[in-house]
Amino acid sequence: TVDSEKFSLAIMLASHHGIALSEVVARHLACLLLNTEENQNSDVASHLTDSKLAELIKISPHLICERMYAYPNIEGTDHQLLLSYFSVIQTIADDYMFYTLTPKEHIKLIRKIKTASSDLDYKKLVDPSYNLLDVILPALQTE
């Protein structure tokens, strides 16, 4: 949820029923990221500075990064949302490795790709199961 009061209630209920708080935090952050119409990136950043949320993140930052299921729902060409996603990951755990890159390295690459072509699918570029030429050629042909 994007509502802070509902998040606090969810934390209380999860704690009462033995549900991992890291799971609730991860879902909350994913919801904040994916509801970009309702929230601006600054809203996500302000949520991360909330003392209660910051304390919960410190308990298991890498687990929260693993459980934050936002990445599969982000289009590879939505460079701005990908930047937001990796910025959140960097805030949570700056040493978290994703496709052998740190969040800082992802952010640097996305900025370069965003400048080069809005048609480049970043997710396919970093995914080793895709052929690099197959990903780059369509973007070059549309420019």
State yes or no: pLDDT of 67 exceeds 60: yes
State yes or no: pLDDT of 19 exceeds 60: yes
Q: Which stretches within 4-60 are classed as H helix?
A: 4-17, 21-34, 41-48, 51-59
What is residue 6's three-state secondary structure? helix
- 84: nearest Cα among 24, 27, 43, 136: 43
What is residue 38's three-state secondary structure? coil
State yes or no: pLDDT of 15 exceeds 60: yes
State yes or no: pLDDT of 101 exceeds 90: yes
Query: From CA 17, how far away is CA 101, in angstroms rounded?
Result: 36
Confidence (pTM): 0.86
Confidence of residue 47 (pLDDT cuts 50, 70, 90): confident
| Of 53 and 42, the one with more pLDDT | 53
